[in-house]
Structure 1
Amino acid sequence: MHIQTRNLQKADYPDLKEAMIEVYSGIGGDYWEKSKITKLLNIFPEGQFCVEVDSKVVACALAIRINHEDFGDNHTYYEITGGYTFSTHNDDGDYLYGIEV
């Protein structure tokens, strides 16, 4: 078995979707839409990671950068993600905010 961690790529979406369906279906969750993954890869590719097992993506960690002073300690996920648009991402942000693991 070969396991590796690397940056997520657009071509990984089918495997990622399959993994999310498998993981989240038992808890009533849903998978991330391709457009959301594509947007994250366009605005902050170096912050999106995946785990591959035998050349198949089985997990991910997604993130954006934010300025802490814009949100403070009391915020919601919806606020941090700009209503799931990721408009709050700031290339010069001082915090790496994990939005999915």
Structure 2
Amino acid sequence: MYRKEFYVFKDEKPIPAVIRNYESKDFPSLIRIQEESFPPPFPSELWWNTKQLSNHVNLFPEGALCLEVNGEIAASMTGLMIDYDPNHPDHSWEEITDNGYITNHNPNGNTLYVVDIGVRPAYRKYGLGKWLMQSMYEVVVHLGLKRLLGGGRMPGYHKEADEMTADQYLDEVVKGNKKDPVITFLLRCGRTPVKAAADYLDDEESCNYAALMEWKNPYFTTNKDQKTNK
């Protein structure tokens, strides 16, 4: 199981933090993170419920991470394994994650797919999202997978939708001509764009688009001594 102890900083003061696998006792805190991280107009029915969280810890505990700051759960990140074909990248969040229940988790998959990442607003100056992303990269390396993949919201796109396509907006963000709260963050975390995916999620701010973005495992090899046959 995963556990990493380190320090985050607030006003130059170090504060102890831990990233670990979340458990059933953490469910109320994880639901609170969802409520605070994704307020309306984000659909409340997409917040976690206890059945979904139970599936996360039972089906793929390695992909169920939370981050504590001074003993308080402040952020979380969840993933599942899929067998991803780069030649057929199109999908929706609902189909790729089984609507967040991850019953389609594939232990023999080649890709760790990000189901969700959330940070409570009061902790968004601590760099927690980047710490969680780095930890999930470590899970990818540990499991010998090809990549981490996920769809990032494009909450700034609705302001530009009358002037450009989603792919054009994504390209402008990547070039640095525009900033997007989510996509720019993912770029800072080392993710690279694959494409803009239509009808990915019921998300008014993103006009239902998401940017599929990946991180390729630099240690991945197809040699026979590879830990897993992925």
Q: Same fold (TM over 0.5)?
A: yes
**Partners of 1:24 and 1:78 in 2: how far apart?**
17
Matched, 1:51 2:60: no
Cα deviation 1:64-99 (Å, max 9, x = unaligned): 000013x93111111211344322210111000001
Q: 1:18: which partner in 2? A: 32
CA shift, 1:29, in A, is: 4.0
Aligned-residue sequence identity (percent) comes to 26
SS in 2 for 1:25: coil
Matched, 1:95 2:97: no
2:59, 2:103 within 8 Å by CA — same for their partners in 1? no
More divergent stretch after superposition (25-34 vs 85-94): 25-34
Q: Which runs of 4+ in 1 moved over 3 A?
A: 26-29
SS in 1 for 2:103: coil
Q: 1:73: which partner in 2? A: 89
**Partners of 1:80 and 1:50 in 2: how far apart?**
22
Q: Which has the larger radius of gyration?
A: 2
What TM-score results when the alignment is normalised by the length of structure 2? Answer: 0.40
**In structure 2, do the counterparts of structure 1 residues 88 and 72 end up closer, same or farther at CA, with 3 Å as the change threshold?**
farther
SS in 1 for 2:39: helix
CA shift, 1:6, in A, is: 1.0
CA RMSD of aligned residues (A): 1.8
More divergent stretch after superposition (13-22 vs 44-53): 13-22
**In structure 2, do the counterparts of structure 1 residues 53 and 72 end up closer, same or farther at CA, with 3 Å as the change threshold?**
same
**Partners of 2:103 and 2:67 in 1: how far apart?**
26
CA shift, 1:27, in A, is: 4.4
**In structure 2, do the counterparts of structure 1 residues 51 and 27 end up closer, same or farther at CA, with 3 Å as the change threshold?**
farther
Alignment gaps of 5+ in structure 2? 1-14, 118-230
Q: 2:18: which partner in 1? A: 4
Aligned residue type for 1:9: E
